[in-house]
Amino acid sequence: MVRQRWHEFYGSGFNGLDIDEYIDNHVARIRRAWYSDAARWSGHSIEGEADKYKRYIHSKIDWLNTQWGEP
């Protein structure tokens, strides 16, 4: 059942959602707040964290495709 749902979701192109574009849009919305927090708490750059998150998401997509096959 899960494999079938993954194939439907992945095969639909994530329902028109581009994962990287979604993350980039979110980063743009929270950029000022992120840097305010980073100044106070010695955080990392938002771009570096966004890139790390994108790699993580893509690795999970690749894993799912390895487990259940690309549709």
Flag whether pLDDT at 71 surpasses 90. no
Cβ atoms of 26 and 49 closer than 8 Å: no
Average pLDDT over residues 46-62: 89
- The reported pLDDT for the residue numbered 15 is 56
Cα-based distances in Å from 17 to 44, 45, 50, 59: 27, 25, 17, 17
Check: pTM over 0.75? Answer yes or no: no
pLDDT tens, position by position, 1-33: 888 888 887 777 665 668 888 888 889 999 999
Cβ atoms of 52 and 18 closer than 8 Å: no
Flag whether pLDDT at 59 surpasses 90. yes
